[in-house]
Amino acid sequence: MLGRQRRIRVQIHRLVDAGLFSFSLWLAHWARAASGIQIFGGSREIQPFGDYAWLLMVIFPLAPLYLAVQGFYDRPMLPSRRQTVWQLLWATVSVSLSVIIVLFLTRTQLARAVIILFGLIAFGLILFKEECLRYWLQTSIGRAQLRTRLILVGAGGETERLRADLGRDSHDDLEIVAQLNLNESPVERLTDLLHEHSANGVILAAQHIYFDQIEKAIQACELEGVEVWLLADFFRTRVSRTTVDELHGHPMLVFRSTPEASWQALAKQAIDFTGALALLVIFSPLMIAVAIAIKLTSPGPVFFRQQRSGRNGQPFTMIKFRSMVSNAEQLKSELAALNEMAGPVFKISRDPRTTWVGRIIRKSSIDEFPQLFNVLRGEMSLVGPRPLPVDEVQRFDDLAHRRRLSVKPGLTCLWQVSGRNNVTDFKEWVRLDLEYIDNWSLWLDFKILCRTVPVVLLGTGAK
């Protein structure tokens, strides 16, 4: 099943399951009110369901979420009953406990029997739904409606490998009805196979097929009204993920090795702006005090400005509290022999150019606080690879290192929370940055931010 079709099926299941869990609460309340069942004591009277209807706002989103955490929606179309029962039991207990916690926090009284009946009824209804679906899928009508009959088209070796891959992954919703080698058979044979097997779709492996033959095959399927799934592996990529999009009506294959545009990405931008604004407000008294201390103890400006490489190498002016003497950049060449970082980056743990105020604010990372203005301007993010000076980026000896520039730089990152003395090899630094890019999620950002707090307080992070 194509990813788009699978997502639609999962969304329907999640909606149905959420509805059944919500219905179970009403049914449990009705059963308790009608029967007067008492568990562990309590009054026989019960308030009308309208007083507890707001609980549906908790149950409706939580139920499918708990099921998803257990992998309930990642199962094959005919999963084992044991797997179904265990995952459903875990989710039902979790939802029931969540309801109890919400009732406790809101100091709402609800008969204990309702909560217990709710869990039992929800478990029973979802299990009944699963058994009905299983029964339907095992009938000839159900199998016929959900099974997709496919023809594999391509060079001989390609179709054989694809068939083996599909068989190994146990796609019980796909049936390979025929194979065709376009290098040995004319496109007209494809039309005959479509008629013979009433195929629903054609998978076209195009790696070793001329494009004019591919075009003819697609046109043949177009006339028959049959879907063509073009296998987009004719370009060998090591990291990129392939997606399909369109640009002003032109279909596009997109090869992406960075996080794609998504709701999570939009949420990250919103969190960056609101988080930076909130932190600036919270720490403004401290930042004013630091600015005064710098101005009174060392000649020169309060802020240090430097050209750093932003997303895709776009230069921007990064702002920091000045922690070194005003001519620090001119003295840098004289200290090159003391560089502790392998690679193009210049790092000295006990830099003699640092002022006594600078040592304090660098230890606690307070010197980085003005970069919150860079975040507000959209040049940086709260979490992302640390921005490097433009001249250091120009000295990269491995072009693969430039992929760390494919996202916005950040105030903190995996390297930043790995320990000041633990990472002195630039290749390891890049590895951590690429690990972040390849596995990015809002949850990963949250974990890095949480790890940053003790690092800043204890002064143990990388600088």
Q: Are both 359 and 407 inside the same structural domain? A: yes
Q: Are both 348 and 333 inside the same structural domain? A: yes
Q: Are both 277 and 205 inside the same structural domain? A: no
Q: What is the pLDDT of residue 346?
A: 67
Tens digit of each residue's pLDDT (9 = 90 or more) over 344-362 = 666 666 777 888 888 888 8
Where in the sequence is the domain holding 157, given as residue range(s)?
Answer: 147-234
Beta bridge partners of 127: none
Query: Rounded mean pLDDT of the chain?
Result: 82
Residue 8 lies in a domain: yes
Single-letter amino acid code for the residue at 448: I
Single-letter amino acid code for the residue at 189: R
Q: Which of 234, 254, 277 is the last residue of a domain?
A: 234
Q: What is the pLDDT of residue 421?
A: 45
Q: What is the pLDDT of residue 238?
A: 64
Render 422-457 in DSSP notation, one character per residue.
T--BHHHHHHHHHHHHHT--HHHHHHHHHHHHHHHH
Q: What angle do CA 445, 451, 454 make, to 5 degrees?
A: 145
Q: What is the pLDDT of residue 340?
A: 59
Q: Are both 105 and 162 inside the same structural domain? A: no
Tens digit of each residue's pLDDT (9 = 90 or more) over 296-317 = 888 888 998 989 988 888 899 9
Question: How far is residue 463's CA from residue 459's CA, in Å, rounded to a whole number?
Answer: 10
List the one residue out of 157, 137, 134, 159 whose CA is nearest residue 146: 137
Q: Which of 92, 119, 141 is the last residue of a domain?
A: 141
Q: Are both 163 and 84 inside the same structural domain? A: no
Q: Are both 206 and 325 inside the same structural domain? A: no
Max alpha carbon distance in the chain (Å)?
88
Asked whether 203 and 150 are in contact (CB, 8 A), the reply is: yes
- List, in sequence order, the alpha helices (H) in 250-347: 263-297, 328-331
Q: Are both 312 and 444 inside the same structural domain? A: yes
Q: Are both 82 and 195 inside the same structural domain? A: no
Q: What is the pLDDT of residue 410?
A: 92
Q: Are both 299 and 315 inside the same structural domain? A: yes
Q: Are both 286 and 393 inside the same structural domain? A: yes
Q: What angle do CA 392, 395, 399 make, to 5 degrees?
A: 115
Q: What is the pLDDT of residue 70?
A: 86
Q: What is the pLDDT of residue 166?
A: 73
Residue 254 lies in a domain: no
Residue 86 lies in a domain: yes
Q: Which of 109, 141, 173 is the last residue of a domain?
A: 141
pTM, entire model: 0.59
Residue 422 lies in a domain: yes
CATH of the domain at 172: 3.40.50.10700
Q: Are both 284 and 399 inside the same structural domain? A: yes
Q: What is the pLDDT of residue 398?
A: 76
Q: What is the 3-state secondary structure (H, E, C) of 73-140?
A: HHCCCCCCHHHHHHHHHHHHHHHHHHHHHHHHHHCCCCCHHHHHHHHHHHHHHHHHHHHHHHHHHHCH
Residue 463 lies in a domain: no
Q: In total, how many domains does the chain have?
A: 3
What parts of the chain have a pLDDT lower than 50?
420-421
Asked whether 345 and 429 are in contact (CB, 8 A), the reply is: yes
Q: Are both 134 and 173 inside the same structural domain? A: no
Q: What is the pLDDT of residue 420?
A: 45
Q: What is the pLDDT of residue 257?
A: 72
Residue 319 lies in a domain: yes
